[in-house]
Amino acid sequence: MAKKRERLEVIKDILSAIRSTRNIKPTRLLYASNLSPQMFKEYINELMDKGFIKIDINEEDKKTFSLTKKGNEFLEEYRIIERFIGNFGL
Amino acid sequence: MHLYDLLLNNREPLKILFTIIIGFACFMIVLRTDKLFRLSYHQGIRYFRNAFFFYGLAFILRYLFGIFSNSLMKFVFEFFLIMAGFSLFYSLIWKKFEIPGKESYSSLINWRIFLFYILSIILVILDYIWETYCFMFGSQIVLFAYASIISYINYNKNKGKEFTGLYFIVMLLNFIVWAANFVVAKFLEWYRPIVIGVYAIDIIIFILLLYTVLSLTKGKN
């Protein structure tokens, strides 16, 4: 059985998916995140509240997600954060 | 015995040096961990950071207040030291009490931390009434015994990670320091050579922790 992803790992996966596609539509991001719609909504709300991602509306009035500066920084520092938590057992 | 005499004759400069070393170590740890917390919002990092914020305050205020009033210094020093112990311990067990992602707005003003404040004040008052340090020592001995066990379990679970063993050693050293403090205060009437040894181990603990934090947070992988 696959190991349950830690919260930070889920966040990293969502942000990586957004970064790799630059502007990603909500449905595509839901599939890429591998979460239930309910969980996906919770994570997206949290990431927007904390300023990691933002919603853009394009010319066709469609919503897409993109990374903020803070979201990019999180991805850059993710390995360090993971190592820190793992080594101290936090 | 020469070294002992040298240390004893230079008590005041050594007190300042001790405060500077520990204050600097705490400041650097708070700075590095605060940056990680602001990116990850991880509660374990948050309580770990708070622990060193309290340790730093305890040692710096002990020195500053010690100049004016010994009883005020004792009260403030004990309070922040006990709070630091609680925060460090809680950083290891927070997942049992909180849901990741549903954190409190403030880590210094919330009902869980409020319990720690109350407990710390009770312990300080008990020590004040009985004119002892034993309630503080007792609480920290229990906390660090438990923290050592948790760190040992973490070490066994994550043997590939480079610093889990070191953190277990730091927790064990903390336990030894608090136990030595208790013995020297209760049975040896603050026998100075042992007290100096305890101070030396304190410095080693903070330098080891600073080294670990700096190593883990340096550069990008």
Helix (H, G, I), strand (E, B) or coil at A23: coil
Q: Are B139 and B85 in contact (CB under 8 A)?
A: yes
Confidence of residue B3 (pLDDT cuts 50, 70, 90): confident
Q: Is residue B1 part of a domain?
A: no
Count how many pairs of residues, chain A against chain B, have C-beta atoms within 8 Å.
71
Confidence of residue B51 (pLDDT cuts 50, 70, 90): very high
Report the CATH number at residue B211: 1.20.1070
Q: ipTM score of the complex?
A: 0.88
**Nearest residue of B to residue A43 by CA position?**
B101
Helix (H, G, I), strand (E, B) or coil at A50: coil
H-helix or E-strand spanning residue A63: strand A63-67
Domains of chain A and CATH, by start:
15-85 (1.10.10.10)
Buried b / exposed e along B101-131 (16+ C-beta atoms within 10 A): beeeeebeeeeebeebeeebeebbeebeeee
CA distance A62 to chain B (A): 28
The residue segments making up the domain with residue B198 are 8-94+103-217
- For the entire predicted model, the pTM comes to 0.89
Is the CB of A84 less than 8 angstroms away from the CB of B45? yes
Of residues B29 and B1, more confidence is placed in: B29
Q: Is residue B197 part of a domain?
A: yes
B182's tokens: 């208790």
| Residue B2 pLDDT > 80 | no
Count: domains in chain B: 1
**Nearest residue of A to residue B49 by CA position?**
A90
Low-confidence ranges of chain A (pLDDT < 50): none
Q: Are B45 and B95 in contact (CB under 8 A)?
A: no
What pLDDT shows up at residue B1? 61
